[in-house]
């Protein structure tokens, strides 16, 4: 996300402070939504991307714009009041960006386990015994989300461990937990195609998970 840049201009011996910010936009994707079928339908992903993700794009841009105005006006209360909006929409924006990167068509390696020589592959086998076990744990976490939330497969940067964590709303994994893969457990992520049977969505999504992307992120 672009940071706010405060620029100072001198004009007629007065100093005018302005905030210039590049607005965030939907990320460019490396695949077409039809390429994720039949596991995730093009209609579902199109709705998810063009409507739901776009909502968070609009929301974070609006919140940051209001924050910049409040900051310029010295309105501390307004700045504080806006924090929840920034966290919600900023988290929604970032989590969805990682979600799209977590997916890949099978023609581009989606669903294929990472290279056996990768540190990520070795860490998963060492800790969990198999990727099937890791997936089972993630699916249990996904099914256990009450309401809206996410499950992240993360690298614990303190000890190199692979961890599965559950978050509510648009909270994200942060600090020593570096998210490698993001799995969306919001109803809007599956309802159009899977209706109320969300476990079928959580089962199907592994067919298009980009494990190689996770392995690269694990090393970065
Ligand atoms: Fe979503």
Which regions in the chain score pLDDT beneath 50?
A: 1-20
Gap from CA of 77 to ligand 1 centroid (Å):
31
pTM of the model: 0.90
pLDDT at 22: 81
pLDDT at 160: 97
The CATH architecture that domain 107-219 belongs to is 3-Layer(bab) Sandwich (3.55)
pLDDT at 21: 61
pLDDT at 93: 98
Rounded alpha-carbon distances, angstroms, from residue 197 to 30, 163, 188 = 28, 26, 13
Query: How far, in Å, CA of 25 to CA of 63, rounded?
Result: 14
Instruction: Please enumerate, by residue number, every residue annotated as part of a binding site for Mn(2+).
Output: 48, 96, 184, 188
Domain over 2-22+41-101 is classified CATH 1.10.287.990: yes
- 2-22+41-101 against 107-219: fold identical: no
Q: At what angle do helices 119-128 and 131-143 cross, to 10 degrees?
A: 70
Gap from CA of 169 to ligand 1 centroid (Å):
10
Gap from CA of 168 to ligand 1 centroid (Å):
12
Q: Where are the domains of the chain?
A: 2-22+41-101, 107-219
pLDDT at 71: 96
10 Å Cβ neighbour count for 116?
A: 8
Gap from CA of 186 to ligand 1 centroid (Å):
6
């Amino acid at each position: 996300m672009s940071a706010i840049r405060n620029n100072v201009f001198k004009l007629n011996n007065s100093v005018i402070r302005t905030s210039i910010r590049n607005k965030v936009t939907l990320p460019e994707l490396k695949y077409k939504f039809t390429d994720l079928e039949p596991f995730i339908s093009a209609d579902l992903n199109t709705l998810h991307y063009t409507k739901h993700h776009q909502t968070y794009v609009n929301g974070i841009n609006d919140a940051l714009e209001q924050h910049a105005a409040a900051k310029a006006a010295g309105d501390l209360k307004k700045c504080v009041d806006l924090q929840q909006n920034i966290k919600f929409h900023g988290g929604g924006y970032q989590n969805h960006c990682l979600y799209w990167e977590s997916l890949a068509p099978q023609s581009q390696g989606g669903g294929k386990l990472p290279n056996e020589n990768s540190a990520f592959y070795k860490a998963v086998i060492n800790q969990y015994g198999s990727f099937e076990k890791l997936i089972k744990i993630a699916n249990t976490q996904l099914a256990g989300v009450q309401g809206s939330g996410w499950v992240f497969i993360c690298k614990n940067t303190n000890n190199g461990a692979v961890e599965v964590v559950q978050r509510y709303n648009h909270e994200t994994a942060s600090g020593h937990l570096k998210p490698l893969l993001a799995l969306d457990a919001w109803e809007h992520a599956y309802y159009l195609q899977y209706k109320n049977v969300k476990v079928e969505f959580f089962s199907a999504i592994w067919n298009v998970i980009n494990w190689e992307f996770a392995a690269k992120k694990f090393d970065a």
